[in-house]
Structure 1
């Protein structure tokens, strides 16, 4: 490991234009070591996985050199500033504590050392108090950019607008570096949270133009797609062209992957039109039969299944998708969409007719006996003599008027046929248990139950379809 670290160090010092003679890398000053670390991290921002792998070994080597350096080394201002940069670039807090233990402390504003240490160790209030008076523009650029990045992180929750300005300072002080790449990523998402579409669009275009190959670009793309679904880029059809323009400068593969991420996120957010549009764009950038094409077809069909005119086409498309080309997460989405397709137009089973319910009939109420009328007197409401003597047929369960039949719970009104059966929704309980209660309530199917338990995607899709129509 030590040999590897030394080789990495020598290689990056050479990249910096200061290649040492044999063995001279062992005598490098702390600021030179940190400068090499920064150059390596800039390569990470440019997409070098080798630099990302080698960074750990270099950090370990720098730790050993810093711990072995005498107190006099840290009286050089460049070396003292390098200690702060090292810590904020992934270094060990124990190194800074070691330096602070010298009788003669490093020759740098102590607020920087203590504030950076508090920040790295998670003591945010202390870090905020220490660094609040520090102006990043008044520092050397390599240190000022790092401090600006830290100050932005400390204020983003309470003062997001001010955090964005501090991130802009970090980008200004350290262009073309990992600090700028990190500041851009963070500023984009703060802009999305504030709903600042113009700034979001401008910064996103800059990031994708300059840092789309960064080792951290994959994580950025995931968060970027989620941010797009929260903003008007996917809520308003008129903004689709703006989204397409934002992505137009990217290479086809990157553009396709971003469309897929946005489409999938739109499906789960219930943005039906956005999901269909972005899936169609991704499909146009994919070759037939490849994994990305199957994913695009899935997202498009999953969105169309809840539209008024796309149901039949989407259901047929879902059957044709090659399951072997999908990830586990997309297989879950396919199962949900197919379950929804099977049940979206199915009416719930009706309750049986009353005469078929094997339920005891409540006894007839006893008729109140009225006094006999006197001779010649006719009771109010009595039938004429011709029919009065005819005995009325005794009511039976078959001809009993509805009001005299056994009380029974009213059937719920039929659901809208365009809505899926809601699994897990309890049926209205009868006033008292009866033998028929379990036979007339339709039990949810395993498919619908699983779909409801997995995610609320079905509800989101239906709400999205409703919103698009409105």
Structure 2
């Protein structure tokens, strides 16, 4: 059934774009109306985000052909407002911004609205903040036109940082007037990010649910996965587990496993050890017996989450046993960092020979009045005790009730151990430099 659907879909794309291809190759480009070419481009783009990635090559061909057609078009062609709209849609659909500049210079008859083109030129030129006011004034006039959905996306992108609520209203309008299209796919994906960053978690999860229902086969679905993982990790305490599971339920097993692995990795790096353990466990469950790489990754992330726990030795054994050839370069760096931390936690502080000579034999037994070695090591690995930076993922807050020994400032052995700990943490930070999700 899936094969038949794909065959029919591919055939539909081919039939829809065949006249454009035939005309472009067999006749002069001057015979093609830009608005007809834009319709074919829109159809192909919508087909791509719905899952037919074979149409991406057709999309590139159409963009090139339309660009050539617009650049060589006679100015009288834009007496038809549909062709004016086609040029604007092309510019907002990933087309060449220089082509719009050329059309504006040639527009002696005033077919293009200078207010709109000036705002688009600022946006496409990377000066989106300068076009915010003009776009806000223009959008109500154009919102129900052929360029309305695309203009809504542009307007939203220009105000994301300054006014996320207004940005979401633009995205919502784009989705409303262009359902099932590349416009809706882009609006949903970006809405997840905007709502999540603004702290509107329920709203962000609603967008994520809708995206998962409709566009998991989009070539941009990997970006959605990263956004969803970040949302789940950053706001795990505020989310319900069933809401996360509902979004994942629309994915097949390999995609679910991939999302759980990404979630476990980011949670481990962020110090969300409970979530890291849960996500790693689910990834292991979803991995088959012959899938060694996912299992190795799940074990690594689970081990990272276990390092700050009481059973550091067992966590270290698990991490060391993971073959390096199953890990990426970044994951090998994580493994090295976790191993370094575990070794420092387990290492006993060594007193200098000079200090040992001053200690009487009868004082070598542990005094119940002072801190034991484990407590000393615990404080030495806590960079906050000396104003250092917290290492990624592995630092835990110092336990209440523990105090630094009064003689720590003059104890050479303690200072030597503390210095060694800070040096090791510096190496770990270097290993994790540039780490993200």
Q: Please, what TM-score do these two structures have when normalized by structure 2?
A: 0.78
Gaps of 5+ in 1: 1-9, 358-397, 399-410, 428-433, 458-470
Distance 2:134 2:415 in 1: 70
Distance 1:171 1:66 in 2: 28
Alignment of 1:48-447 (within 5 A): 48-102=52-106, 104-105=108-109, 107-135=111-139, 138-140=142-144, 142-231=146-235, 234-235=236-237, 239-288=240-289, 289-308=291-310, 310-352=311-353, 356=357, 415-418=375-378, 421=381, 441-442=416-417, 444=420
Distance 1:246 1:201 in 2: 8
Secondary structure of the 2:309 match is coil
Alignment of 1:438-457 (within 5 A): 441-442=416-417, 444=420, 449-455=426-432
Distance 2:66 2:18 in 1: 19
Call closer, same or farther: CA 1:301–1:31 in 2, change over 3 Å.
same
Does residue 46 of the first structure (1) align with residue 40 of the second (2)?
no
Distance 2:107 2:213 in 1: 49
User: Would the aligned equivalents of 1:149 and 1:179 in 2 still touch at CA under 8 Å?
Assistant: yes
Structure 1, 35-44 or 51-60: larger mean CA deviation: 51-60
Structure 1, 318-327 or 146-155: larger mean CA deviation: 318-327
Distance 2:425 2:162 in 1: 43
1:342-361 superposed Cα distances (whole Å, 9 cap, x missing partner): 2213332235565837xxxx
User: Would the aligned equivalents of 1:44 and 1:52 in 2 still touch at CA under 8 Å?
Assistant: yes
Distance 1:145 1:169 in 2: 7
Call closer, same or farther: CA 1:316–1:35 in 2, change over 3 Å.
same
1:36-58 superposed Cα distances (whole Å, 9 cap, x missing partner): 22222212312343333443332
Call closer, same or farther: CA 1:137–1:129 in 2, change over 3 Å.
closer
Distance 2:227 2:141 in 1: 30
Secondary structure of the 1:61 match is helix
Q: Considering only aligned residues, what root-mean-square deviation do their CA atoms show, in Å?
A: 3.5
Deviation at 1:172, TM superposition (A): 0.9
Call closer, same or farther: CA 1:215–1:39 in 2, change over 3 Å.
same
Gaps of 5+ in 2: 1-10, 361-369, 389-409
1:228-256 superposed Cα distances (whole Å, 9 cap, x missing partner): 2111xx236x8333322331221111111
Distance 1:438 1:338 in 2: 24
Call closer, same or farther: CA 1:439–1:113 in 2, change over 3 Å.
closer
1:111-163 superposed Cα distances (whole Å, 9 cap, x missing partner): 22222122101232442232221235854554101000111111111111111
Secondary structure of the 2:166 match is helix
Could you say which structure has the larger radius of gyration? 1
Distance 1:193 1:448 in 2: 30
Call closer, same or farther: CA 1:441–1:311 in 2, change over 3 Å.
closer
Distance 1:450 1:126 in 2: 44
Distance 1:87 1:291 in 2: 43
